[in-house]
Amino acid sequence: MTAFLFELLVPLSLGFFTFVALGDPGTVPARPQGNSAVEELMKVIDSPAGDIEPPDINRLCTTTWVMKGLRTKYCVQTGACVEEFDHYCVWLNNTIGKANHRQFVGLAIVEFFTQVTHVRLCMVTVMSLIPYQSFTQWMWGAITSYPLLTMIVVIHCVTAPWVLMLTLHQSRLVLMNLTTNEMMNMHRYEHFWTIRQIGPGHSSRIFRNPFNKGSGVANCLDFWWHRTRWQMVAQPQPLEGGCQKQCCNHSH
């Protein structure tokens, strides 16, 4: 049973690995000079004023000349703007973004179980090769007779917990509808904060995730199925009641 599982998980791991390492993470193609977001910006600015809201110049990527969505980020390592940028993975030598994020999480899950089944297979093998009398005798026998196999088990036991942690971290972010990049940099992303008056002359920054689809289940479906993570949800105005009106009349 374990052997069968292992034989199933290994090609699955390799498949996900190849997909994520070699596939496109969701790159926004760079735009040539003369037909870039700069010219479009100019057109909007030059157009008769009034009806069109001016675009946010800060969203212009000055390397690839595209207008970045709120979840698009320029990746320094690969030199490209990636939609729904999560992070750059050193092991895969690729960015994790809109087009490979699901496969990346899939890889982390499958990878963990591949390692667990391999450790179990190694254990069963050594059990049948070295008759068990006492733990130290058995352990010593394994190390001296099968050093390579022992080393592989040790490497698994060191790395598998990390893979599990990564899987749990990613699952948590999926439930919250956040990316790793947003988790690290949200303090400087204005769209995650609203200003609320908490008293005369006092206001505080309140965190609210505009991409949150309402519940953990909805965010899971959004990630695995609907794939509208880039879409913002209309936020209900924070309940401030009558206080806000009163407070706002006094300026300090």
Q: Decide whether 63 or 93 has the Cβ nearer to ligand NAG.
A: 93
Q: How far is the CA of 53 from the CAs of 45, 57, 153, 234, 247, in angstroms?
A: 9, 12, 60, 18, 30
Give the list of residues 6+ apart from residue 131 with CB closer than 8 angstroms, or none: none
Tokens of 124: 């069963």
Q: Decide whether 25 or 222 has the Cβ nearer to ligand NAG.
A: 25
Q: Any bridge partners for residue 82, and if so which?
A: 27, 73
Q: Please, what is the minimum distance in Å from the beta carbon of residue 2 to ligand NAG?
A: 33
Residue least distant from ligand NAG (Cβ): 93
Q: Decide whether 91 or 225 has the Cβ nearer to ligand NAG.
A: 91
What is the three-class DSSP state of 183? helix
Q: Please, what is the minimum distance in Å from the beta carbon of residue 60 to ligand NAG?
A: 23
Q: Decide whether 45 or 76 has the Cβ nearer to ligand NAG.
A: 76
What is the three-class DSSP state of 234? coil
Q: By the criterion CB under 6 A, which residues form the site for ligand NAG?
A: 78, 93
Tokens of 127: 């059990």
Q: Please, what is the minimum distance in Å from the beta carbon of residue 93 to ligand NAG?
A: 4
Q: Please, what is the minimum distance in Å from the beta carbon of residue 78 to ligand NAG?
A: 5
Residue type for position 137: Q
Question: Do residues 80 and 93 make contact, with C-beta atoms less than 8 angstroms apart?
Answer: no
Q: Decide whether 79 or 147 has the Cβ nearer to ligand NAG.
A: 79
Q: Please, what is the minimum distance in Å from the beta carbon of residue 157 to ligand NAG?
A: 27
Give the list of residues 6+ apart from residue 10 with CB closer than 8 angstroms, or none: 114
Q: Please, what is the minimum distance in Å from the beta carbon of residue 1 to ligand NAG?
A: 36
Question: Do residues 95 and 25 make contact, with C-beta atoms less than 8 angstroms apart?
Answer: yes
Q: Decide whether 78 or 180 has the Cβ nearer to ligand NAG.
A: 78
Question: Do residues 68 and 55 make contact, with C-beta atoms less than 8 angstroms apart?
Answer: no
